[in-house]
Amino acid sequence: MPNYLKSSNEIVRELPALSDFLIDAEAYFAHLPRSAMTFPKETLEEHVRLVNTCALRLIEVHCLDEVINKLVADYDKGGDERTSNYLKKLFIHTIVFHDFGKINEHFQLDKMKNDLFKGALPGNNPIGSTHSALSAYIYLTKHLHEIFFEYNGNPRLITACIYLSYSIFKHHSSRFTDDTLSTTNFDTFQAKYKFEEVSQFLSNYLNRFGYQINPNILGMIGKNDWLKSNLRLVEHNSFSLYALCRLNFSLLTASDYLATHAYMNQAPIKEFGVLSENRINEIYTHVTGSEWINETEGERNYNKAVFEKVDHYHLQHPIVANGDNLNLLRTEMAIEVIRNIRANKNQNLFYIEAPTGGGKTNLSALAALELLKLHHGKYNKVFYVFPFTTLITQTYKALKDTLFLADHEMVELHSNAGMKVMRNEEDDAYGSDKLNYIHHLFVNYPFAFLSHIRFFDILKTNEKEINYLLHRLANAIVVIDELQSYNPEHWDKVIYFIKQYADKFNIKFILMSATLPKLDRLHVIKNQVQEFTYLLPTAKKRYFNNPNFAGRVNFNFELFDRDDLQLQEIAERLLLESENYVGKDFGRAKPFGSVYAIIEFIFKKTATEFYKLIKKSDFFDEVLLLSGTILPHRRKEIINYLKNKNNRQKKILLVTTQVVEAGVDIDMDLGFKDRSLIDSDEQLAGRINRNVNKEDCSLFLFNYNKEAIIYGKDKRLELTRRFITRDTYQEILCNKDFDKLYDLVLNNRNEWNNKEMVVGFQDYEHKIKQLKYQSVHEQFKLIDQNNLSCFVPIAVPITVDSSIEGQVDVVFTSAEVDFLNQHEVYPNANSEIEGAEVFDIYLALIHNSKERKKEDFARSKTDDKILQGIMSRYVFSLFATDKVEQQIVLFSDMEKSVFGYKYLARWYEFYAVDTGMRDSDFNSNETQFL
């Protein structure tokens, strides 16, 4: 780690005040107060000073100096101390210089209403009232002059200077594109004017800053071709330059936004959503010392015993299968994780490979907490990353209790969550809306729970608003769950970004799953310094193959190879096995006379057909259907019903699609599954006999639908068919040896990337090194499919029955109910919110969008985000095939369906709340719906 680089604070402090070198600095304004506000206009000098202050505060809060230094040192390999310090100066000066172009007279008169410039407008102005290009010009000429005359035209410095100037050009744009060099070459102006005249016009502004720039330097601007011809703009490119430029854009735009907010509202942001060392110690004390999580509900804090044993306990690894030994094994896994974190605290890459039912969420929480504690506040925020919304919500609730977290310390980031609304009694509604929006935009919460798509977007996005968050990832702990859910086509990109950011941004990654692909076996980064540390290094022997985990579920392969199965035969076998299981008695865990069975199909249409078929039998007390077209409140009702202990004496069947595999915390007795991917089969097995308090629990694998229609492009399916026999398939599931599958996939990807004349990972990495921001973003999509969002205007209840008898779970939060009331939408007589009225609010906000944003931007964005969360209660998605779109039109209000959702005005003709879409009525093809 280079310790010879100046701090960002030193670099900023070395610069004189703007008024010391800009002639008549006090005459230039940067912002006007909002209408009806009476405070003075903000001068350019005040804005520059405030932006610098915000940038330095972000750098301090997120310990960014160390990250910037590391990126600079990696980019300037072999460079000396003086050159590296100048590189860092180039980075910081983009922030300082980004608004210098606001001295443009047209900007002052047109935008700032600055009457001092009436009659003082220069003729033949080619840049209008814009300021970004002029700011970039001032930055480029000043620093290129210094590079050529003080650093002998160092190519690395020239390259960095030109590419970093792109942040200034684009700081008011919505995104970076692939046209970096055409932008920095002023091609937009060159297409309209003789650039010599443009350059002459722009150069006149240099004198106002007292800058004396050599004419040869001025002549270089707008002539990147000579640099390109000498390859000086590409030969030094690296991931570090890519990351340096994106971090620069993140810091510049975030600082500018926060400074502008501080002026406009006369209130600087004081809280940045990080954990202080005192707060970390407080959480640690709670987790390690409190007897109860919730004494009223009898919920004990079992982690207290873990920490009491961690220093002296001798691991026992009991092999007799029962509930007590299962809990002991969970404790022993926690002890191992903590011990290995303490022994490897300076590592950045960790695996938690733990069997289903082993409590991975708790293990990851203890690992994260231990890292926070060991590093004394340097690491001060935690991101949890998941493939499914259900996992996000479930883990959010679990960790709030496990880590004794306050509500304002956590946020869910997904479409169903809407915006987190916190009311401060000292603020008026306006102030609260502003703060809520700022905290949401910059994710100012120590614990953030988000989707894998959103997280990897932060790592590779070209969008400004998403890129705001890049600086926040520095010195964070990131837990990524269910890694195997990503398409193997992108595994090389996933591990590339994880390894690069772990190294360059000091991020500690914890990758966990019961079926964990070892992505570090991909050869996408040569000579990587750090490798992964296994927090449970002997997990296969000690835990996966322990009868308490391996013996929880018997895999039955009797129907595995049959290609002539009919639904009637499957139903008969399920009824037979369920009838046999009813006679078993395992006490409260499974009373005599009861059975909980689950059957999973690949296609939703098949699940619906089976649901209708099995309903003809009177064996089950309840037959429940769960699929991707079931709305969230009904899904919550079903899960709560299954978890309610008062229902455990019943005979219940859950018919489902793959939406139940991961993140659904239910405990079934028997399972039937249409086989698909091996790791998918294991995920469903994880919903059976979770607490090892029953015997003879089985998962029957059968072959019905053609899984290739869904997984045809997934290498796991192709390689399974080619190389994995039925016996090996069974061995993998029974012995939990998923490396036999994943090694095939990883080796296949390595072979592909080593082939010539194919588009492999090297082509993608080349885009990174060329700084093709848009291509880097668009060529890495974890989910690449188009969906139709369908809005069902039904009445949705405000609450549903909880899993605890006599209690309820909210469907709409109090903030959402308040929002609806403000828009004159109230619960009906059954305490339900009518979907039609919600959609009317949506249409009204769209039609008034411009006026709302102009009147109060923060309130409008807050309203939009809250409404998005509300509307998610009425929405399901379908694959957007031509056939689906043609048919969905028949049930839609076309006038209301042009605003992002298909408004299903005639939903009752093909949809039911309890069963979702009736595919037979809809005349759909079975391949279209999950």
Q: For the segment 280-300, what is each residue's pLDDT rounded down to a tens digit?
A: 999 999 999 999 998 887 889
DSSP letter for each residue of 300-339: E-THHHHHHHTTTPPP----S-SHHHHHHHHHHHHHHHHH
Cα-to-chain-centroid distance, residue 62: 19
| Alpha carbon distances (Å) from 575 to 562, 651, 672, 697, 705 | 19, 11, 11, 15, 20
The torsion angles phi and psi of 901, rounded to 5 degrees, stand at -125, 150
Q: Tell me what the mean pLDDT of segment 150-156 comes to.
A: 92
Report the 10 Å Cβ neighbour count for 905.
19
Nearest-CA neighbor of 104 among 142, 134, 140?
134
Nearest-CA neighbor of 449 among 472, 474, 423, 417?
417
Long-range (24+ apart) CB contacts under 8 A made by 107-115 are 107/131, 108/27, 108/28, 108/29, 112/28, 112/29, 112/30, 112/31, 112/32, 112/41, 113/32, 114/27, 114/28, 114/29
Predicted pLDDT of residue 430: 44
Nearest-CA neighbor of 227 among 177, 178, 156?
156
Contact, 251 vs 64, CB < 8 A? yes
Domains along the chain with CATH numbers:
8-14+26-265 (1.10.3210), 277-545 (3.40.50.300), 552-735 (3.40.50.300), 787-928 (no CATH)
Say what percent of the chain tops pLDDT 70: 94
Confidence of residue 425 (pLDDT cuts 50, 70, 90): very low
Q: Which three-class secondary structure state does DSSP give residue 834?
A: strand
The chain-wide mean pLDDT, for the chain, equals 90
Confidence of residue 487 (pLDDT cuts 50, 70, 90): confident
Q: Tell me what the mean pLDDT of segment 412-425 comes to.
A: 75
Place of tokens 């391996």: 550
CA distance 661 to 642: 15
Burial class (CB in 10 A: 0-12, 13-18, 19+), 64: buried
Q: Which three-class secondary structure state does DSSP give residue 703?
A: coil
Q: Tell me what the mean pLDDT of segment 123-145 comes to.
A: 94
| Alpha carbon distances (Å) from 227 to 149, 198, 737 | 17, 20, 54
The yes-or-no verdict on residue 527 having pLDDT over 70 is no
pLDDT tens readout for residues 863-896? 899 999 999 999 998 887 788 888 888 899 999 9
Report the 10 Å Cβ neighbour count for 423.
13
Long-range (24+ apart) CB contacts under 8 A made by 72-76 are 72/2, 72/5, 72/240, 72/244, 73/1, 73/2, 73/5, 74/238, 74/240, 74/504, 75/156, 75/160, 75/236, 75/238, 75/240, 75/241, 75/244, 76/156
Contact, 310 vs 339, CB < 8 A? yes
CA distance 346 to 349: 9
Predicted pLDDT of residue 311: 95
Q: Which amino acid is at 903?
A: Y
Predicted pLDDT of residue 228: 64
Predicted pLDDT of residue 610: 95
Complete edge-to-edge strand list for the sheet that includes strand 410-413: 410-413, 447-451, 382-386, 477-481, 508-513, 349-353, 533-534
Nearest-CA neighbor of 221 among 108, 103, 138, 102?
138
Report the 10 Å Cβ neighbour count for 11.
19
Between 188 and 99, name the one with better pLDDT: 99
The runs of H, that is alpha helices, within 387-514 are: 389-402, 429-441, 452-460, 464-467, 470-473, 491-504
Predicted pLDDT of residue 928: 44
Q: Tell me what the mean pLDDT of segment 112-119 comes to.
A: 91
Q: Tell me what the mean pLDDT of segment 521-545 comes to.
A: 84
Q: Which two tokens stand for residue 834?
A: 């009518």
Place of tokens 């016009």: 201
pLDDT tens readout for residues 744-783? 988 888 887 777 655 788 899 999 999 999 999 999 988 7
Say what percent of the chain tops pLDDT 90: 68
How far apart are the two ends of the chain, measured CA to CA in Å? 50
Long-range (24+ apart) CB contacts under 8 A made by 47-51 are 47/99, 47/259, 47/260, 47/263, 48/18, 48/96, 48/99, 49/17, 49/18, 50/259, 50/262, 50/263, 51/95, 51/96, 51/98, 51/99, 51/255, 51/256, 51/259
Q: Which two tokens stand for residue 361?
A: 């969420």
Contact, 786 vs 877, CB < 8 A? no
